[in-house]
């Protein structure tokens, strides 16, 4: 086994998630997504063996060979940016967490119509306002939420956000609360929008306290990445 401590780490994380749900008082079910970026297909295979059935990848070109290489039926999530010209690749994932522009929404809508089944997406919201992050500003979300109702090829399942790296607890809580408010905007526009994808290895407990229904964890499960093989990203 490449990750002999994985089962123990998963158990610890699940315990921490349960405690955070209790502290936060939202009563939500939380899906643990194992982020396998920069690791081989064995990471996804071993995650399945440890009881984690949802796996996240940042890059389509890294994900597709792994999807082809394993036979266990993990649910693949795309958590990183998707280029419009790769919209067809969205069909390989159970959920695209990174719907970050109207143009991408249109491309995915066209793909969903062509295949006869909507593509499930999360709307990426840039709550923190960082220039380096993609997604809608909260102030502009209501208009796009109404527009998305007319795109039958996509199905809006909720919101994804990322907090600033190394932020203090106050900033983290404001960011995650802002994502909750963004989800309310989507719901008010008629979307199902049940999911809140937020929280990574360094902040997932606070995210769960604030209502996260999906957490994207890599380092805490598989170990630290070297600077040459991966950065902050979505884990």
Instruction: Note the pLDDT of residue 233.
Output: 56
Question: Distance between CA atoms of 136 and 163, rounded to whole angstroms?
Answer: 14
Q: At what angle do helices 41-49 and 6-24 cross, to 10 degrees?
A: 70
Per-residue confidence in pLDDT tens, the chain, 235 aa = 899 999 999 999 999 999 999 999 999 999 999 999 999 999 999 999 999 999 999 999 999 999 999 999 999 999 999 999 999 999 999 999 999 999 999 999 999 999 999 999 999 999 999 988 999 999 999 999 999 999 999 999 999 999 999 899 999 999 999 999 999 999 999 999 999 999 999 999 999 999 999 999 999 999 986 544 444 457 7
Instruction: Note the pLDDT of residue 235.
Output: 72
CB 128 within 8 A of CB 164: yes
Question: Distance between CA atoms of 219 and 203, rounded to whole angstroms?
Answer: 12
Quick one: residue 206, left, alpha or beta (phi over 0 = left, psi -120 to 50 = alpha)?
alpha
CB 47 within 8 A of CB 225: no
Q: What b/e sequence results for 8-43 when a residue is b if at least 16 CB atoms lie within 10 Å of its CB, and e otherwise?
A: ebbeebeeebeebbeebebebebbbbbbbbbbeeeb
Instruction: Note the pLDDT of residue 14.
Output: 98
Name the CA radius of gyration of the chain, rounded. 17
Instruction: Note the pLDDT of residue 234.
Output: 73
Question: Distance between CA atoms of 107 and 103, rounded to whole angstroms?
Answer: 6
CATH domain 6-222 topology = TIM Barrel (3.20.20)
Q: What's the whole-model pTM score?
A: 0.94
Neighbours of 1 (CB within 10 A): 11
């Amino acid at each position: 086994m490449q990750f002999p401590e994985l089962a123990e780490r998963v158990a610890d994380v699940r315990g921490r998630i349960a405690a955070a749900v209790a502290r936060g008082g939202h009563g939500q079910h939380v899906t643990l997504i194992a982020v396998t970026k920069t690791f081989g297909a064995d990471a996804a295979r071993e995650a399945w063996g440890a009881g984690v059935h949802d796996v996240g990848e940042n890059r389509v070109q890294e994900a597709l060979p792994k999807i082809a290489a394993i036979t266990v039926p993990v649910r693949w999530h795309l958590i990183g940016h998707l280029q419009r010209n790769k919209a067809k690749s969205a069909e390989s994932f159970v959920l695209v967490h990174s719907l970050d522009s109207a143009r991408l929404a249109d491309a995915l809508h066209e793909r969903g119509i062509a295949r006869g089944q909507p593509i499930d997406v999360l709307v990426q919201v840039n709550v923190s306002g960082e220039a380096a992050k993609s997604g809608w500003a909260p102030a502009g979300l209501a208009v796009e939420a109404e527009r998305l109702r007319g795109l039958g090829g996509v199905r809006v399942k909720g919101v994804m956000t990322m907090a600033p790296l190394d932020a203090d607890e106050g900033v983290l809580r404001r960011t995650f609360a802002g994502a909750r408010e963004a989800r309310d905007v989507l719901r008010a526009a008629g979307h199902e929008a049940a999911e809140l994808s937020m929280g990574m290895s360094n902040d997932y407990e606070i995210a769960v306290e604030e209502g996260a229904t999906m957490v994207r964890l890599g380092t805490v499960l598989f170990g630290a990445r070297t600077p040459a093989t991966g950065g902050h990203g979505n884990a």
